[in-house]
Structure 1
Amino acid sequence: MRVGIIGAGPTGLFLAGGLARRGHAVTVVDRDTGPGADGRWPRRGVMQFHHAHAFRAPCRTALEAELPGAAARWDEAGAEPTFVTLPDGSRRLMTVLSRRETFETALRAAALAEPGVDFRPGHVDAVLVEDGRAAGLAVDGTTVAADLVLDAAGRSGRATAAVRPAPTAGGDCGIAYVDRQYQLRPGAGPGPLTNPMAWQADLDGYQVILFPHERGIFSVVLLRPTATRALLGLRHAAAFEAACRAVPGLDTWTDPERSRPLTDVLPGGRLFNHYRPQTHPDGRLALPGLVLVGDAVGTTTPNFGRGVTLSLLQAQQLLALVDEHGRDVDALGHAFDAWCDARVRPWVEDHAVMDDGLRRRWRGEDVDLDGPLPSDLVMAAAAVDPAIGAAVGPYAAMLAGPEVLDPVRERARAVYASGWRPAFDEGPDAAELAAVVAGALT
């Protein structure tokens, strides 16, 4: 087939390379022309590009299956796999430590090197429609004919805005964040970790997460409720650094003797959980011949770092469905919609419940034992009831969906019904942190 792809982010690049390796003719369009001659890549228009990311095992296995050249380039750039030891003594890949820039640079080089991939720098003005079907792309006044159009331009992509169905799950999370990249100084060892992927502190009124990347680089993320306006000042370097000094554990990582900042403080936008189907409520495809994929279908808040993994799982499934349905792109669209409803929507709904519970706890409310028990609280309850722990691993690694926790949710509910609550980690509460921020800015 001739395939037109809107967006050369991780999802679009992965699909471009995978489709070309299957013999399809692929044109992928993006305004960003890639890294500069000096290797730097501002990636303007993609706010989250330099923010913290996590890459779970399915990201690596997807690359190895579909674009092994990208996996090799990623390794050469310094990507660091981490493993967990299972009860039987075997080791399982848990995550790959890397910045998104490092990952996407490797993926881009490998995908665009595939014969059959044509990269067009430019802006997609619209999807061409003939006889009620997608027929290609209008790109800066020129046309790109296509039998299948894939929208990998993200949650707010404009080229298909007029035909996209309305989201059916998720919404504004009521959470905002800022982060900053650092690098360990030569010879300096890392600070504490709470799991192979991150260090996390759950404090009274906010949350701190540190994601290690490659070559001693790491990102510090501070998440707060959008209602807490007193913490807006964290976007300023002096306030951010003062907050780092105030939180035990984080102060170890960001000690100027141990590490140095690589970037300015990077404010994030408003966060949304978001699920969008391929079809309207009456079951009609949004536009026959057009398939939404990646963030255009589902996004989750970044506090669990699931975004790229969820997108590549979609892309890998879409490739399998192309193999199955061939040029029957209507069957492809319906089949992918059904898969996303079963495999993507639950992650979005899971995050929506967790974010709602987190905001409530930040306001000082108790655990709601009558409503859905958030998955983060299910995992925390494993500290009291070890039988819960067997389900946590596959959930955390995204080797199974949120339903893997269903058999242990009532056990977790019983833990909370007994009166147990996870303690806040050591550090200032939100009001005390606000005072730290205010003091740093005076």
Structure 2
Amino acid sequence: MRVGVIGAGPTGLVLGIALARRGHEVTLVDRDPGPEPDGAWRRKGVMQFHHAHVMRTHAVHVVRAEVPEAYDEWLELGAEPALAGDQMVAIKAQRETYERGLRTVAMRERGVTIRRGHVDGVLVSDGRAAGLLVDGRPLNGDLVVEAAGRSSRATDALGARESIGGSCGIAYVDRVYRLHAGAEPGPMTTPFTFAAAYDGYLAILAPHEHGIFSLIVVRRTDDKELARLRHDELWDRACAAIPGISDWTDPERSQPVTSALAGGNLLNVYRSQRAPDGRLLLPGLVSVGDAVCTTTPIYARGVALAMLQVSRLLQLLDAHGVDADTAVEEFADWCAAAMRPWVIEHMAIDTGLARRWAGEDVFADHHLPGDLVLAAGAQNPAIGDIAGPWVSMDGGPESLEPARALAREVYATGWRPPYADGPTRDELVALLG
């Protein structure tokens, strides 16, 4: 089978390599030329390539199952497993390191071609996908995979899809640092992050390889005062005032390696494989990764959700052999059942967060978002035990339902989660001047 893949990011690379190893001929098309001769890789047009990332367990395990050499490449590049006891819960690596390791394997994989170009659209013959139009030239294929992320427009001409979601109501600014040689890391609140909820904003820090770490400050989208954190001087002033963060960013301990970076329009969006009338958008076409499911970065689920999709699609293609259409039909149903609920959950989390920062009391809402359910575990430890699969993504949002019932009981008493020790949003704004 000839497979044309739109996009050579992590989703396209893992799927492309895995399909080639199953005997298929795969061409990945991407506008990016890859790393330059000096090793630098700017990856223009892919905002998240340069921003904070956490590579959760599923982002690692699926790759180790399908492309084990990539894991070795990550370790060679300096990536470090994050452990909880003797169990790996994440890998400490920048998005660039994660993608570079995959691309290195793909470049030498027989049956995989990475072609630089712009996809003008999908070729259609006899009512099904027949390949891609790349820079005005046809690239014939038996299966087309859309893996170019949420911003891809290559399939728009095929018509509307069933979809939900949109802008999430929160935004962030982040910055990348490196620890000085011999400097010890700062405090952590989980095995792979420092995360704290303050009155009016969040701060989340993720260690990477070679002493590099990323810090993001999350705010309401309409909070123009905290948006000024994109200015380095004001960012430094804020970091020095936030406990925990100040330890990491102390000039005696680390130094910035980028300026403050403003995150783009953050979305929670689910796009089905199907048109609004329920039929497949186009037989022979399948969307994977962020093209299906986009969630905000607070819980760092993006790459993990993409890899879960890759794993499921490969299982279905293996099961149905040459009958790719049946595999895509079943994959569409699986995405609706397994991916759509994550988007709905994150819509609730982000909407609730923005409303609480605006002063609303949303704790009596019928559907408690996952972050409030977890917070209630401070009062009822049984909640934390139940919520484990939701946190690790071994269970979907539905696995949290028993814990939601217990959390409602906690909030009915009038208890509310305390904020972390640090300046409130208004105090931080006053500090910025």
TM-score category (smaller protein) = over 0.9
User: Residues 54 and 95 of structure 1 are in contact (CA less than 8 Å); yes or no, is this contact kept in structure 2?
Assistant: yes
Distance 1:134 1:24 in 2: 17
Alpha-carbon distance, 1:167 to partner? 4.9
Distance 1:193 1:15 in 2: 34
1:346-378 CA distances to partner (integer Å, 9 max, x unpaired)?
111110011111011111211331320010111
User: Residues 164 and 278 of structure 1 are in contact (CA less than 8 Å); yes or no, is this contact kept in structure 2?
Assistant: no
Of 230, 235, 241 in structure 2, the residue corresponding to residue 235 of structure 1 is: 230
Of 320, 323, 328 in structure 2, the residue corresponding to residue 328 of structure 1 is: 323
Summarize the alignment of residues 152-167 of structure 1 with structure 2, pairs less than 5 Å apart.
Answer: 152-163=147-158, 165-167=160-162
User: Residues 70 and 111 of structure 1 are in contact (CA less than 8 Å); yes or no, is this contact kept in structure 2?
Assistant: no
User: Residues 161 and 274 of structure 2 are in contact (CA less than 8 Å); yes or no, is this contact kept in structure 1?
Assistant: no
User: Residues 172 and 271 of structure 1 are in contact (CA less than 8 Å); yes or no, is this contact kept in structure 2?
Assistant: yes
SS of the aligned residue for 2:70 comes to helix
Of 248, 255, 258 in structure 2, the residue corresponding to residue 253 of structure 1 is: 248
Partner of 2:385: 390
Paired-residue identity, % = 55
Alpha-carbon distance, 1:181 to partner? 0.4
Summarize the alignment of residues 288-299 of structure 1 with structure 2, pairs less than 5 Å apart.
Answer: 288-299=283-294
Partner of 2:82: 82
Partner of 1:97: 92
Alpha-carbon distance, 1:264 to partner? 1.5
Summarize the alignment of residues 21-36 of structure 1 with structure 2, pairs less than 5 Å apart.
Answer: 21-36=21-36
Structure 2 alignment gaps of length 5 or more: none
Distance 2:236 2:97 in 1: 25
Distance 2:187 2:415 in 1: 26
Relative to the length of structure 1, the TM-score reads 0.96
Alpha-carbon distance, 1:39 to partner? 1.4
Summarize the alignment of residues 337-348 of structure 1 with structure 2, pairs less than 5 Å apart.
Answer: 337-348=332-343
Count of equivalent residues: 433
Letter matched to residue 324 of structure 1: A
Partner of 2:9: 9
Q: 1:55 and 1:255, CA in 2 relative to 1: closer, same or farther beyond 3 A?
A: same
SS of the aligned residue for 2:378 comes to coil
Distance 1:98 1:199 in 2: 15
Q: 1:164 and 1:402, CA in 2 relative to 1: closer, same or farther beyond 3 A?
A: farther
Of 196, 214, 217 in structure 2, the residue corresponding to residue 222 of structure 1 is: 217
Q: 1:51 and 1:329, CA in 2 relative to 1: closer, same or farther beyond 3 A?
A: same
Alpha-carbon distance, 1:164 to partner? 5.3
Alpha-carbon distance, 1:310 to partner? 0.5
Distance 1:164 1:178 in 2: 35
Of 305, 310, 326 in structure 1, the residue corresponding to residue 305 of structure 2 is: 310
SS of the aligned residue for 1:182 comes to strand
- Is 2:358 the counterpart of 1:363? yes
Superposition RMSD in Å: 1.2
1:62-109 CA distances to partner (integer Å, 9 max, x unpaired)?
111100111110111111112223xxxxx3221111100011000111
Report the more deviating stretch, 224-233 or 147-156: 224-233
Alpha-carbon distance, 1:35 to partner? 0.9
User: Residues 67 and 111 of structure 1 are in contact (CA less than 8 Å); yes or no, is this contact kept in structure 2?
Assistant: no
Distance 1:161 1:37 in 2: 35
Partner of 1:172: 167
Of 272, 284, 297 in structure 2, the residue corresponding to residue 277 of structure 1 is: 272
Partner of 1:118: 113
Relative to the length of structure 2, the TM-score reads 0.98
Letter matched to residue 120 of structure 1: R
Distance 2:214 2:160 in 1: 35
User: Residues 162 and 274 of structure 2 are in contact (CA less than 8 Å); yes or no, is this contact kept in structure 1?
Assistant: no
Q: 1:167 and 1:282, CA in 2 relative to 1: closer, same or farther beyond 3 A?
A: closer
User: Residues 165 and 276 of structure 1 are in contact (CA less than 8 Å); yes or no, is this contact kept in structure 2?
Assistant: no
Structure 1 alignment gaps of length 5 or more: 86-90
Distance 1:17 1:112 in 2: 10
Alpha-carbon distance, 1:4 to partner? 0.1
User: Residues 288 and 329 of structure 1 are in contact (CA less than 8 Å); yes or no, is this contact kept in structure 2?
Assistant: no
1:385-414 CA distances to partner (integer Å, 9 max, x unpaired)?
111111222211212111111112111111
Alpha-carbon distance, 1:165 to partner? 3.5
SS of the aligned residue for 1:314 comes to helix
User: Residues 165 and 277 of structure 1 are in contact (CA less than 8 Å); yes or no, is this contact kept in structure 2?
Assistant: no
Letter matched to residue 129 of structure 1: V
Partner of 2:70: 70
Alpha-carbon distance, 1:155 to partner? 1.0
Letter matched to residue 203 of structure 2: V
Distance 1:202 1:38 in 2: 40
Alpha-carbon distance, 1:257 to partner? 0.4
- Find runs of 4+ consecutive structure 1 residues off by over 4 angstroms: none
Letter matched to residue 295 of structure 1: D
1:164-201 CA distances to partner (integer Å, 9 max, x unpaired)?
54352222111111101001101110111110121112
Alpha-carbon distance, 1:38 to partner? 1.6
Summarize the alignment of residues 379-418 of structure 1 with structure 2, pairs less than 5 Å apart.
Answer: 379-418=374-413
Distance 1:250 1:19 in 2: 43
User: Residues 53 and 94 of structure 2 are in contact (CA less than 8 Å); yes or no, is this contact kept in structure 1?
Assistant: yes
User: Residues 180 and 261 of structure 1 are in contact (CA less than 8 Å); yes or no, is this contact kept in structure 2?
Assistant: yes
SS of the aligned residue for 1:390 comes to helix
Q: 1:164 and 1:386, CA in 2 relative to 1: closer, same or farther beyond 3 A?
A: farther
1:304-352 CA distances to partner (integer Å, 9 max, x unpaired)?
1111111111011111111112232321221111111111111111100
Distance 1:392 1:220 in 2: 26
SS of the aligned residue for 1:210 comes to strand
Q: 1:167 and 1:177, CA in 2 relative to 1: closer, same or farther beyond 3 A?
A: farther
Q: 1:164 and 1:332, CA in 2 relative to 1: closer, same or farther beyond 3 A?
A: farther
